[in-house]
Amino acid sequence: NQDWKQASKFSNALLKTTLDNKHRKRLACEIESARKSLPVYQVKRQLLNLVRENQVCVIVGETGSGKTTQLTQYLEEEGYATFGIIGCTQPRRVAAVSVAQRVAEEFRGGVRLGEQVGYAIRFEDVTGPNTLIKYMTDGILLRESLTYPDLERYSVIVMDEAHERSLNTDVLFGLLRNVIAKRRDLRVIITSATLNADRFANFFGDAPVFNIPGRTFPVDTFFSKTPMEDYVDAAVWQTVQLHIQAPLPGDILIFMTGQEDIETTCEALADKVSKLQNPHPIIILPIYSQLATDLQAKIFEPAPDGVRKVVVATNIAETSLTIDGIRYVVDAGYCKLKTYNPQLGMDALLLCPASQSSVDQRAGRAGRTAPGKCYRLFTSTAYVRELLETNVPEIQRTNLSHVVLLLKTLGVDDILEFPFLDPPPRENVLKSMLSLWLLGALDANGKLTSLGREMSSFPLDPGLSSLLFTGMQNGCLVECLTIVAMLSVPNVFVRPQGREEESDAAREKFFVPESDHLTLLHVYQRWIAGGSRAEWCAKHYISSKSMRKAREVREQLLDMVRAKKMVESSCDDWDSIRKAIGFAFFYQAARRKGVGEYVNIRSGVVCGMHPTSAMYGSGLGADYVVYHELIMTRKEFMSCITAVEVQWLAEAGPMLYVLKHVADEGVEIAQRVQQRRAEIEDEIRRSSSNRKEDDGG
């Protein structure tokens, strides 16, 4: 009997493997034929010839023609990965991950992600010694150029989604122009989904432009007759109408602006559809950058027969990701844009009308496989009068501190002379240099200081890097590391719909009334003390995923800190930590004006505390606070706030505060701050000379 059981277990396992293999083979066949049906396949040979004969070329093709997933694989087949690896940059993290997953499935019948095909995004490197094709964010490649200015690891670099004109891609263009002059063996391919590719070609000395012949179907576009009050309501209503009337198959893609309105839309839609009489079954799937990776993959799964798939997306689905089967597009006509506020010297995420070229791209998503329809939730007059023709490149509208610091580190002294495709406004460059000077990263002549050099070696915004150094100075580097890690991951507090009160109460239990930064530190410490378990997270309405990510980020930062031989100081005196925070963020401060009302010290604008802050309603009413971010809605809100002493602000930033707020102490404080800068610089010099000795020994 025992033997029989054993045997049947064995044969079952065998059967399962055979079936699995069969299934896998069938899947591989399907994938192969799907690959061959892509427009880019028809021109494979021509493309490879073009790349062989030209160091730089520009490839234009409709979204979904196979540029991102196929080109890298063609290049690998052609032998380009034998003398370096094939790199492909993406402006968006989600796209880098999702595309790498797909290509790993396709490559040689399917390989494990991180082997021949991998990806790298900030704080997450899924590549290895066997990697031949590497997808990455443009920010990653930019950072790599700090260590390898000639990008020696790569034989080909595909600059994908160039039409997006992301800040990092734009900077890379300028750098690459120098690199290709030095490295004749390097190939650069620029891909774009829109036709205005000549600018890229001209920038690289008349590089050839290749158009992948498209294959699109007509899309009927409908505008709304009157302006919409609420675009979420309007989108839900429109989608329900479509779901009732439009035949199957035919999936729907809704363009929203961000996580919040995507979630609201998904919930409202599910609710409305459930109230219909005998509706077709429906699957509603969100996609936005902070969504968990496994959930992101779901949008690509075809809906079963008789079921309609509705995907609610940010502009990630505009050109970066292609979802097959979409026949209907519902477009709210907005997007969220990071926009620089020169008055404040920082970025804010603003809700803006999308550009004409964006909404036209969105409409095009409906016509990939068959004729489609696009419903715009704005009027045709608005289209003509209110929408810009094209997007303003990021470089012209965002904070450049990060980029200026990076370029300075790369030895580009005169930023205004750097070969930008579209130069940023002079004022923004100067403002960014001013911020870096305030942080001590540049000296009064605009030269990089040793502190600045050290700051740029962390993959962090200058403000957060600065916190590591002020942490070191105040004997709490380890705690500041934790805070920086917690600020670098998606919000750790979860607030599920329908359970707002319980989750708010759970969050309050972690509050450190004088500081959100310390609150985050507190959460992390409690999580570690509790054995970092998922059950603990569920019980306290904390995102287990974000916590694990924070731990990972913290480990990586800790490695960097150790490599630099920074003093790994730690303390449990929360006032010292607050002091470090005040020193790092002195230029983002506000003074109390009334009950719960503050005035931004630099801009004079009135702002409030965000209701999720530990300081909101804590009755503490600190006279001075620093904040991590400003959120603009009806008015300005500070989020992630810490109460500070005005002396700290004055000491850290006498150039901002002294005269106005603490005039008497001014001179003395100015001297102290000079001294403190000198101390930090000294310490850095010492630790870097230690490092050199170590290297030698």
Residue 324 CB, shortest distance to ligand ADP, in Å, is 4
Residue 69 CB, shortest distance to ligand ADP, in Å, is 3
Measured distance between the N- and C-terminal CA atoms of the chain, rounded to whole angstroms? 68
Choose, by CB under 6 A, the member of 322, 401, 519, 556 that binds ligand ADP: 322
Residue 288-307 contact track with ligand ADP, rule CB under 6 A, x = bound = ------------x-------
Q: Phi and psi at residue 93, in whole multiples of 5°?
A: -60, -45
Indicate the residue among 71 and 429 with the shorter CB distance to Mg ion: 71
- CA 268 to chain centroid: 27
Question: Which residues on neighbouring strands pair with residue 625, listed in sequence order?
Answer: 590, 643
Q: What is the DSSP string of 368-400?
A: SSS-EEEEESS-HHHHHHTS-SSPPPGGGTS--
Residue 549 CB, shortest distance to ligand ADP, in Å, is 22
Answer yes or no whether residue 72 interacts with ligand ADP by CB under 6 A.
no
Answer yes or no whether residue 73 interacts with ligand ADP by CB under 6 A.
no
Dihedral sign, CA of 288, 294, 297, 301?
negative
Answer yes or no whether residue 38 interacts with ligand ADP by CB under 6 A.
yes
What is the longest distance spanned by two Cα atoms in the chain? 95
Answer yes or no whether residue 155 interacts with ligand ADP by CB under 6 A.
no
Q: Which does 535 bind (CB under 5 to 8 A by kind): ligand ADP, Mg ion, none?
A: none
Q: Which does 89 bind (CB under 5 to 8 A by kind): ligand ADP, Mg ion, none?
A: none
Cβ contact 313:262 at 8 Å: yes
Cα separation of 143 and 145, whole Å? 5
Q: Which does 69 bind (CB under 5 to 8 A by kind): ligand ADP, Mg ion, none?
A: ligand ADP
184: its two tokens: 């004749």
Cα separation of 238 and 514, whole Å? 46
User: How would you classify the pairing of strands 154-159 and 85-90?
Assistant: parallel
Cα separation of 681 and 454, whole Å? 10
- Buried b / exposed e over 257-272, threshold 16 CB at 10 Å, is bbbebbbbbbebbeee
Residue 696 CB, shortest distance to ligand ADP, in Å, is 48
Indicate the residue among 98 and 435 with the shorter CB distance to ligand ADP: 98
Q: Which does 155 bind (CB under 5 to 8 A by kind): Mg ion, ligand ADP, none?
A: none
Q: Which does 353 bind (CB under 5 to 8 A by kind): Mg ion, ligand ADP, none?
A: none
Residue 126 CB, shortest distance to ligand ADP, in Å, is 15
Residue 141 CB, shortest distance to ligand ADP, in Å, is 18
Q: Phi and psi at residue 493, in whole multiples of 5°?
A: -85, 130
- Counting residues that bind ligand ADP (by CB under 6 A) gives 17
Answer yes or no whether residue 139 interacts with ligand ADP by CB under 6 A.
no
Strand ranges inside 72-193, DSSP E: 85-90, 117-121, 124-126, 133-137, 154-159, 187-192
Indicate the residue among 320 and 556 with the shorter CB distance to Mg ion: 320
Residue 160 CB, shortest distance to Mg ion, in Å, is 6
541: its two tokens: 């309405």
Indicate the residue among 188 and 273 with the shorter CB distance to ligand ADP: 188
Choose, by CB under 6 A, the member of 44, 50, 60, 63 that binds ligand ADP: 63
Q: Which does 614 bind (CB under 5 to 8 A by kind): ligand ADP, Mg ion, none?
A: none
585: its two tokens: 């963020």
Indicate the residue among 68 and 98 with the shorter CB distance to Mg ion: 68
216: its two tokens: 């699109």
Answer yes or no whether residue 69 interacts with ligand ADP by CB under 6 A.
yes
Residue 84-123 contact track with ligand ADP, rule CB under 6 A, x = bound = --------------xx-xx---------------------
Half-sphere exposure at residue 368, Cβ-oriented, CA atoms within 13 angstroms: 28
Q: Which does 66 bind (CB under 5 to 8 A by kind): ligand ADP, Mg ion, none?
A: ligand ADP
Centre a 10 Å sphere on the Cβ of residue 129 and count the other Cβ atoms it contains: 5
Indicate the residue among 67 and 551 with the shorter CB distance to Mg ion: 67
Q: Give the binding range for ligand ADP (CB under 6 A) out of 59-67, 490-498, 510-518, 678-686.
A: 59-67
By the 10 Å C-beta count (0-12 exposed, 13-18 middle, 19+ buried), 330 is classed as: buried
Of 76, 31, 99, 531, the residue nearest 293 (C-alpha): 99
Indicate the residue among 65 and 465 with the shorter CB distance to ligand ADP: 65
Closest-by-Cβ residue to Mg ion is 68
Answer yes or no whether residue 68 interacts with Mg ion by CB under 5 A.
yes
Residue 237-276 contact track with ligand ADP, rule CB under 6 A, x = bound = ----------------------------------------
168: its two tokens: 């990092």
Indicate the residue among 345 and 372 with the shorter CB distance to ligand ADP: 372
Choose, by CB under 6 A, the member of 44, 58, 65, 404 that binds ligand ADP: 65
Answer yes or no whether residue 325 interacts with ligand ADP by CB under 6 A.
no
DSSP 107: G
Indicate the residue among 99 and 405 with the shorter CB distance to ligand ADP: 99
Of 604, 603, 610, the residue nearest 628 (C-alpha): 610
Answer yes or no whether residue 315 interacts with ligand ADP by CB under 6 A.
no
3-state secondary structure 556-610: HHHHHHHHCCCCCCCCCCHHHHHHHHHHHCCCCEEEEEECCEEEECCCCCEEEEC
Answer yes or no whether residue 364 interacts with ligand ADP by CB under 6 A.
no
Answer yes or no whether residue 163 interacts with ligand ADP by CB under 6 A.
no
Sequence-separated (6 or more) residues with CB below 8 Å from residue 102: 69, 300
- Counting residues that bind Mg ion (by CB under 5 A) gives 2
DSSP 512: B
Q: Give the binding range for ligand ADP (CB under 6 A) out of 58-66, 163-171, 349-357, 540-548.
A: 58-66
Answer yes or no whether residue 324 interacts with ligand ADP by CB under 6 A.
yes
Q: What is the contact surface with ligand ADP in residues (CB under 6 A)?
A: 38, 61, 63-70, 98-99, 101-102, 300, 322, 324
